[in-house]
Structure 1
Amino acid sequence: MAELILQSTITCPDCGHKKTETMPTDACLYFYECEACHALLKPKAGDCCVFCSFGTVPCPPIQQGTGCCDSG
Structure 2
Amino acid sequence: MQLESVLTCPQCRFQSTEPMPTDACQFFYVCRGCGQKLKPLPGDCCVFCSYGSVPCPPIQESGKSQCCP
Measured against the shorter chain, the TM-score band is over 0.9
* 1:64 corresponds to 2:61: yes
In 2, distance between residues paired with 1:50 and 1:27? 12
Alignment: residue pair count: 67
Identity among equivalent pairs (%): 57
Match 2:22 to one of 21, 25, 40: 25
Q: Give runs of aligned pairs for residues 43-58 of structure 1, distance below 5 A.
A: 43-58=40-55
Q: Which residue of 2 aligns with 1:36?
A: 33
TM-score for both structures, normalised by structure 1: 0.89
Moved over 6 A (4+): none
RMSD: 0.8
Cα distance per residue 1:30-66 (max 9 Å; x no partner): 0000011000000000000000000000000000115
- Residue of structure 2 equivalent to 1:8: 5
SS at match of 1:13: coil
Amino acid at match of 2:26: L
Q: What is the deviation of 1:27?
A: 1.1
> Structure 1 regions of 5+ residues with no counterpart?
none
Higher Rg: 1
**What runs of 5+ residues in structure 2 fail to find an aligned partner?**
none
